[in-house]
Chains A and B, each alone.
Chain A
Amino acid sequence: MATLAVDKERLAISRLYARFGFGPRPGEFAESLSRGLQSTQQSFLVKPDLALIQSQLKVPDVEDIGPRPPAGSTASNEYSTRLRNQNRELALWWLDQMATTDFMLNEKMAWFWHGHWATSIDKVKFALPMYDQNQRLRTHALGNFATMSQEMFLDGALQIWLDGQDNTAKAPNENLAREFMELFTLGVGRYTEEDVKALSRIFTGYVVARTSGALTFAPRRHDSSPVTLLGSTRSFRAAEAVEYLVDRQDCAKFISERIWYRFFSESKPLPQSFAGQGFEDRNIDELVSTFINSPYLSEADLPMVKSPVEWCIAICRAFGLVPSQFSNPQTLLNHLSKMAQVPFLPPSVGGWPAGGAWLTSASAQFRLNFSQYLIKSIDLAQLREVPRADRINYLKDLLGIYQLSPRTEDALRAVVDEPARLILLLVNSPEYVVGA
């Protein structure tokens, strides 16, 4: 592989915006270049003010809509419409947050955790429990992982998703217990099948109200007999078991692995130097800070593919588009759906794929169509005012792109007179779809 001149500072800043944010807003990238990497890193890591984040959030129109009225009635049809509208509203609401937030890292981490505790409205059905889960993920996005894990265990949507209420003393269901160790806290191979059985008995006894996600504990359904979990034999309460799992060194390693996988490389293994460092107290902000301040931020050969949501939101931020304000926002969701990534609809409890998964010919085609749709909403006047010779560099900085190959520069120069075509090609270029 030939290389272009290396500019570590630009590379690191480009990665900060693309990976630890949702892409720069107009002017932000150039401003970061001028004040330097260190200052940019610091501004990403400013401790978020949760009250301020919440105060800036719109409140989506989701509420407990209760049980379905008798079929065939007008009320039943209205109920279906309301359910559908709430679910659509919720997805657009979150896309709006991503596209407009001032707290990029916090929102990006909420998105990361959504893929980690991946729960789908496909099975949960109701918007309210999904919204509550989303707020939980946002509140603890950079908080303490032990606290987050306790709250997520008691999360109604997650309990519904993983059949928590089918897990009773009489008939244990291993679903939640298994995922809790395998996908949420420890990682595969760091527990035995006996531990899965033990944990599922500890987790028995919870009942969820489907439409609200409200969780209650029913002692009669709970199995309180002593079990052996990862070498410790006692009568665990669920909260004690969660604490016990999160305390393990394997948990620090696992969460570090997941952050590495989503922010640095889906194919290269976690470097030894990160095996839990910075996560001694299970503080997520400290762990993320360790990654952001590491030399890997500017190390070559760690490209990452923008997932469809990340790609779409980065374009929205650069051009000031707000998803819910598109003339028919459902079309935007349809495009995301074709690209196989809609918020609140992960394909499975393992979250979305990464890397080359998004680079099929089918996705290239859907991406082209999607960008044609997005560009219709972009005000091109500003780009027209930029002298032709400067347009490519202007867009590079606007979108926070590290570098362009001579191949892409050539393709862009050929259409530099036509702003819409220029943007279309740039956002579909290998250098934009795959961040350096």
Chain B
Amino acid sequence: MDTLSRRLFLKLTATASVVGGAQVLSLDEIASAAITRPLPENTPILVVLTLYGGNDGLNTVIPYKDGLYYSLRPDISYPQEKVLPLSDGLGLNPSLVGIKSLWDKKKVAIFRGVGYPNPSQSHFSSMAIWQSGQNNYQLRSGWLGRWVDTQKFDPLLAINLGSVLPPLLVGEKRSGSVLPLGGYIKPVGSLVRDCSRLSLASPTDSPLAAQAASSLRDLLTVSAELSPILSSPTPAPLELPTINGGNAGGDNQLSQQLDLVSKLINAGAPTRVWTTSLGGFDTHANEADAQAALLSNVDKSITRFFSQLSQSTRGKDVTLLIYSEFGRRVVANASAGTDHGTSGPVFVIGDNIKGGFYGDQPSLKSLVKDNLAVTTDFRDIYASLIEGILKTPATAILGGWKGRVKSLLYKQ
């Protein structure tokens, strides 16, 4: 863990928000708020998906008309006929059929060559840079946490799916909240009666024992009013492969995370930022199958996410950002995998997004120390999202960053 991630970690523990603590939400709270104080109609919502481990950008958005792609990656390149063609000689990984269809509807912006100067090839450092939104170690908080700082306090404003608060939601003064996955699966059978007896409030409980009782009670008390929100629509869980592609953090239940987010958005939760994650992209070995399976997970999960959102009026308000801490080395290593690299593509998807390519594709001819050049600074994208989606001035949040996406990102 480097200096910055350590700082963020300390901040996390200092605010007692790592798993549990005051900032852990129950579904009850969010669902009640969705009913009593729903997000005003037409409020833009940002959903962030972090791919942990370093997704191989060159096999995600593939320069399939560039001979160098095939000569530099003889063993792990995708043949031209399998790539899903976009334009400019670029195509998507064959797993990304859902994103291709959204691209065809002009809802997908792909930023090429995204990174920052002097890229770090450490997972911890690079993820800390991406999540803090700066690379000069001046700020000890996350970019969306600092956005939370600028808003009127509301624990439901920014929520991470999963049990641990990621650094990007840690603010200088306040932080986002966490919603543990799976906390809403109710016990069944005799256990319901048993647990409701066991979780009654008792005047002899210490504060911690009372918390233990209420955590058990919360499992049972998703009220009749709220159950429909959480239980419908109830498509069968996606059967997705599990991957062992390294261990640089991130969750593995993306489809469940996004299912819950879409239900709560549709229900009107007063939440403007949702963060989700998928781990396993650290494909140092035998990359092709592992990355294809992971990208397929991403593709199926977000396809379903947008389809569920389209069932309410909120779908048009949602913008999804997908990024990873770095791309991977251009030339494959000796294990049919790739080592840590530098820049990679970033996806921004939504009804309001002007689809197409942004930024220049890094050239395979002029590599920088065997790595792709950085052609787009990630903070430009953050700034445009903070201003365009979250409607907040971005320069201060991003430590004085003045760069912006050059062409227009949003539909008029």
Tell whether, in the assembled complex, residue A353 and residue B208 are in contact, meaning their CB atoms are under 8 Å apart. Answer: no
Contact of B202 among A303, A406, A415 (CB under 8 A): A406
CB within 8 Å for A357 and B18 given contacts A348-B1, A411-B198, A434-B212: yes
CB within 8 Å for A430 and B205 given contacts A363-B215, A368-B187: yes
How far apart are the CA atoms of A361 and B180 in the complex, in Å?
8
Q: What residue of chain A has the Cβ atom nearest to residue B181's Cβ?
A: A362
Tell whether, in the assembled complex, residue A430 and residue B210 are in contact, meaning their CB atoms are under 8 Å apart. Answer: yes
1/0 contact string of A288-305 vs chain B (CB within 8 Å): 000000000000010111
How far apart are the CA atoms of A406 and B336 in the complex, in Å?
63
Beyond A359-B215, A365-B219, A405-B202, list 7 extra A-B contacts (CB 8 Å): A1-B203, A303-B208, A349-B6, A353-B19, A355-B208, A360-B24, A366-B182
Check if A410 is an interface residue, CB within 8 A of chain B. Answer: yes
Contact of B6 among A175, A355, A364 (CB under 8 A): A175
Given the complex, which residues of B lie within 8 Å of A182, measured CB to CB? 6, 10
How near does chain B come to A430, taking the closest CB pair, in angstroms?
4
Given the complex, which residues of B lie within 8 Å of A101, measured CB to CB? none
1/0 contact string of A69-87 vs chain B (CB within 8 Å): 0111000100000000000
Check if A381 is an interface residue, CB within 8 A of chain B. Answer: no
Tell whether, in the assembled complex, residue B204 and residue A428 are in contact, meaning their CB atoms are under 8 Å apart. Answer: no
Tell whether, in the assembled complex, residue B16 and residue A415 are in contact, meaning their CB atoms are under 8 Å apart. Answer: no
Check if B195 is an interface residue, CB within 8 A of chain A. Answer: yes
Check if A425 is an interface residue, CB within 8 A of chain B. Answer: yes
Contact of B10 among A163, A350, A355, A410 (CB under 8 A): A350
How near does chain B come to A348, taking the closest CB pair, in angstroms?
5
Check if B200 is an interface residue, CB within 8 A of chain A. Answer: yes
Interface residues on A, range: 35 or more
CB within 8 Å for A71 and B285 given contacts A178-B6, A356-B20, A430-B210: yes
Tell whether, in the assembled complex, residue B1 and residue A360 are in contact, meaning their CB atoms are under 8 Å apart. Answer: no
Q: Give 27 A-B contacts (CB < 8 Å), ordered by A residue.
A: A1-B205, A4-B204, A68-B335, A76-B285, A173-B2, A175-B1, A188-B10, A305-B212, A340-B164, A347-B18, A350-B10, A353-B16, A353-B20, A355-B20, A356-B21, A356-B208, A358-B20, A359-B212, A360-B19, A360-B180, A362-B163, A405-B209, A407-B200, A407-B202, A411-B197, A421-B194, A434-B211
Tell whether, in the assembled complex, residue B208 and residue A434 are in contact, meaning their CB atoms are under 8 Å apart. Answer: yes
Q: What residue of chain B has the Cβ atom nearest to residue A301's Cβ?
A: B206
1/0 contact string of B175-218 vs chain A (CB within 8 Å): 00000111111010011001101111111111111111101101
Q: What residue of chain B has the Cβ atom nearest to residue A429's Cβ?
A: B198
Check if B77 is an interface residue, CB within 8 A of chain A. Answer: no
Given the complex, which residues of A lie within 8 Å of B206, measured CB to CB? 1, 301, 303, 434, 436
Residue in B180, B183, B184, B198 whose Cβ sees the most chain A Cβ within 10 Å: B198
How far apart are the CA atoms of A361 and B213 in the complex, in Å?
10
Tell whether, in the assembled complex, residue B163 and residue A353 are in contact, meaning their CB atoms are under 8 Å apart. Answer: no
Tell whether, in the assembled complex, residue A360 and residue B183 are in contact, meaning their CB atoms are under 8 Å apart. Answer: yes
Tell whether, in the assembled complex, residue A305 and residue B208 are in contact, meaning their CB atoms are under 8 Å apart. Answer: yes
Q: What residue of chain B has the Cβ atom nearest to residue A122's Cβ?
A: B247
Check if A174 is an interface residue, CB within 8 A of chain B. Answer: yes
Contact of B1 among A4, A349, A410, A428 (CB under 8 A): A349
- State which residues 14-54 of B face A: CB under 8 Å: 16, 18-21, 24, 26-27
How far apart are the CA atoms of A358 and B164 in the complex, in Å?
12
CB within 8 Å for A71 and B211 given contacts A347-B18, A425-B194: no
Q: What residue of chain B has the Cβ atom nearest to residue A77's Cβ?
A: B286
Tell whether, in the assembled complex, residue B197 and residue A407 are in contact, meaning their CB atoms are under 8 Å apart. Answer: yes
Tell whether, in the assembled complex, residue B212 and residue A361 are in contact, meaning their CB atoms are under 8 Å apart. Answer: no
How far apart are the CA atoms of A360 and B19 in the complex, in Å?
8
Check if B231 is an interface residue, CB within 8 A of chain A. Answer: no
Given the complex, which residues of A lie within 8 Å of B191, measured CB to CB? 368
Given the complex, which residues of B lie within 8 Å of A273, measured CB to CB? none
1/0 contact string of B243-284 vs chain A (CB within 8 Å): 000010000000000000000000000000000000000000
How near does chain B come to A82, taking the closest CB pair, in angstroms?
14
- State which residues 291-349 of A face B: CB under 8 Å: 301, 303-305, 340, 347-349
Tell whether, in the assembled complex, residue A365 and residue B198 are in contact, meaning their CB atoms are under 8 Å apart. Answer: no
| In the A-B complex, the 9 residue pairs with the closest CB atoms | A71-B335, A362-B180, A411-B197, A357-B20, A2-B203, A362-B183, A407-B202, A430-B212, A361-B183
Tell whether, in the assembled complex, residue B13 and residue A353 are in contact, meaning their CB atoms are under 8 Å apart. Answer: yes
Check if B9 is an interface residue, CB within 8 A of chain A. Answer: yes
Check if A13 is an interface residue, CB within 8 A of chain B. Answer: no
Tell whether, in the assembled complex, residue A357 and residue B1 are in contact, meaning their CB atoms are under 8 Å apart. Answer: no
A residues with a Cβ closer than 8 A to B are 1-4, 68, 70-72, 76, 122, 161-163, 173-175, 178-179, 182, 188, 301, 303-305, 340, 347-350, 353, 355-366, 368, 405-408, 410-411, 414-415, 421, 424-425, 428-431, 433-434, 436
Check if B337 is an interface residue, CB within 8 A of chain A. Answer: yes
Check if B236 is an interface residue, CB within 8 A of chain A. Answer: no
Given the complex, which residues of B lie within 8 Å of A430, measured CB to CB? 198-199, 202, 205, 209-210, 212-213, 216
Contact of A425 among B16, B185, B198, B334 (CB under 8 A): B198
Q: What residue of chain A has the Cβ atom nearest to residue B210's Cβ?
A: A430
Residue in B26, B200, B334 whose Cβ sees the most chain A Cβ within 10 Å: B200
Tell whether, in the assembled complex, residue A357 and residue B21 are in contact, meaning their CB atoms are under 8 Å apart. Answer: yes
Residue in B10, B185, B195, B215 whose Cβ sees the most chain A Cβ within 10 Å: B215
Given the complex, which residues of B lie within 8 Å of A365, measured CB to CB? 182-183, 185, 187, 219
How far apart are the CA atoms of A122 and B212 in the complex, in Å?
30
Given the complex, which residues of A lie within 8 Å of B209, measured CB to CB? 303, 405, 430-431, 433-434
Tell whether, in the assembled complex, residue B163 and residue A71 are in contact, meaning their CB atoms are under 8 Å apart. Answer: no
Tell whether, in the assembled complex, residue A359 and residue B208 are in contact, meaning their CB atoms are under 8 Å apart. Answer: yes
How near does chain A come to B196, taking the closest CB pair, in angstroms?
9
Tell whether, in the assembled complex, residue B20 and residue A428 are in contact, meaning their CB atoms are under 8 Å apart. Answer: no
How near does chain B come to A70, taking the closest CB pair, in angstroms?
6
Residue in A350, A360, A421 whose Cβ sees the most chain B Cβ within 10 Å: A360
Contact of B163 among A340, A410, A411 (CB under 8 A): A340
Given the complex, which residues of A lie within 8 Å of B184, measured CB to CB? 361
Given the complex, which residues of B lie within 8 Å of A162, measured CB to CB? 1
Residue in B181, B210, B216 whose Cβ sees the most chain A Cβ within 10 Å: B216
Given the complex, which residues of B lie within 8 Å of A411, measured CB to CB? 194, 197-198, 200
Q: What residue of chain A has the Cβ atom nearest to residue B218's Cβ?
A: A361
Given the complex, which residues of A lie within 8 Å of B285, measured CB to CB? 68, 71, 76
Q: What residue of chain A has the Cβ atom nearest to residue B196's Cβ?
A: A411
Check if B3 is an interface residue, CB within 8 A of chain A. Answer: yes
How near does chain A come to B126, taking the closest CB pair, in angstroms?
14
Tell whether, in the assembled complex, residue A347 and residue B208 are in contact, meaning their CB atoms are under 8 Å apart. Answer: no
Residue in A357, A364, A414 whose Cβ sees the most chain B Cβ within 10 Å: A364
Given the complex, which residues of B lie within 8 Å of A358, measured CB to CB? 19-20
How near does chain B come to A376, taking the closest CB pair, in angstroms?
15
How far apart are the CA atoms of A388 and B185 in the complex, in Å?
33
Tell whether, in the assembled complex, residue B216 and residue A428 are in contact, meaning their CB atoms are under 8 Å apart. Answer: yes
Given the complex, which residues of A lie within 8 Å of B198, measured CB to CB? 407-408, 411, 425, 428-430
How far apart are the CA atoms of A83 and B181 in the complex, in Å?
30
